[in-house]
Structure 1
Amino acid sequence: MKGHATMRFNFTKETPQVYDAMLALNTAISQANPDSRLVHLTKIRASQINGCAYCVNMHVKEAQQDGLPDMLLHLIAVWRETSAFTARDRAALAWAETLTRLEDSEVSQADFDAARAEFSEQEVAALTASIAMINLWNRMAISAHLPV
């Protein structure tokens, strides 16, 4: 959002049918992802990469409410440089990065293999949907200049 103070448009008001569909999809994706820790980590990481201050702020607060330790939340941006994350966390964060940075390359086979080593096929599919959804939310929030 790069310091913008004025909201450009209110997509919840101007396209309520799209917003309602996004909320319904978000609910379905949440129900498919039983590991809320991974969902929090990947939503925060994708939002950091995309530069969505609104979403980073919101998802950090949600993660704190769900009991994720502050130290862990402070280290998400540098997850590769610390041993604070489990193998599952690391696989999920790498998968979030590769799916969020599609412009950099194809979807990394190594990141998929790492995710598949830690997660079932259903878990990979559900995590992929969650990451895709946060990228959609990020793009809506950034383009609208949602305030933090």
Structure 2
Amino acid sequence: MHAPQSPTQPVPVDRALPDVYRALLAVHTANDRHGLPRALCHLVHLRASQINGCAYCIRMHTREARADGETNARLDHLAGWRHMTDYTPAERAALAWTEALTHLGSDREPDIGALRTQLRAHFEDTMIAALTVEVAMINQWNRIAIANH
């Protein structure tokens, strides 16, 4: 790889480590096979991106959710989902899980066991595992995107 034009120039992961980048994309392909609803994935991706302040990902996931039929009202209300009636109990459990796994090390220390119990009321363990991977991956992508701002 050539030297950057300036020491503050971003280092794009896709160009610097194309094999790693392809492997990260492959995780999504593998995880998609477990059937987590796309609408739920959009909500998870967007909520984690909001928390992490990743403007690039917020724009992208909002656009993708709309293209897949998500309503503007639900997208507009997502930041305050706990106080809105727009979301199903399953979505609320998934959003609580998303926030718990995104706010690591915060002073909010969620009760992971209670959150897992809520998830199990709506999802089988394979779906909970797939949801956990989605949350982990969007947090990773947020950090990669922010590093390139």
TM-score using structure 2 length: 0.88
Match of 1:132 in 2: 136
2:61 corresponds, among 56, 59, 62, to: 59
User: CA offset at residue 108 of structure 1?
Assistant: 2.1
Match of 2:3 in 1: none
Range that drifts further, 48-57 or 24-33: 24-33
- Structure 1's unaligned 5+ residue stretches are 1-5
User: CA offset at residue 9 of structure 1?
Assistant: 1.9
**Contact residue 30 and residue 130 of structure 1 kept, 8 A:** no
Q: Confirm or deny that 1:113 pairs with 2:117.
A: yes
Match of 1:72 in 2: 74
1:86 corresponds, among 70, 77, 88, to: 88
More helix by share: 1
- d(CA) in 2 for partners of 1:138, 1:29: 18
Give RMSD over aligned pairs: 1.5
User: CA offset at residue 79 of structure 1?
Assistant: 0.1
- Structure 2's unaligned 5+ residue stretches are 1-7
For residues 5-60 of structure 1, the C-alpha deviation after alignment (integer angstroms, 9 at most, x for no partner) is: x8622111111111111111111112223311111101100111111111111111
Task: State the percentage of identical aligned residues.
Answer: 44
- d(CA) in 1 for partners of 2:45, 2:33: 15
SS at match of 2:11: coil
- d(CA) in 2 for partners of 1:63, 1:7: 31
Match of 2:41 in 1: 39
- How many residues are aligned here? 140
- d(CA) in 2 for partners of 1:138, 1:33: 23
For the pair shown, the structure with the greater C-alpha radius of gyration is 2
Q: 1:72 to 1:106 in 2, by over 3 A?
A: closer
Q: Which amino acid aligns with 1:128?
A: T
Query: Relative contact order, CA 8 A, sep 6+: which one is greater?
Result: 1
Match of 2:19 in 1: 17
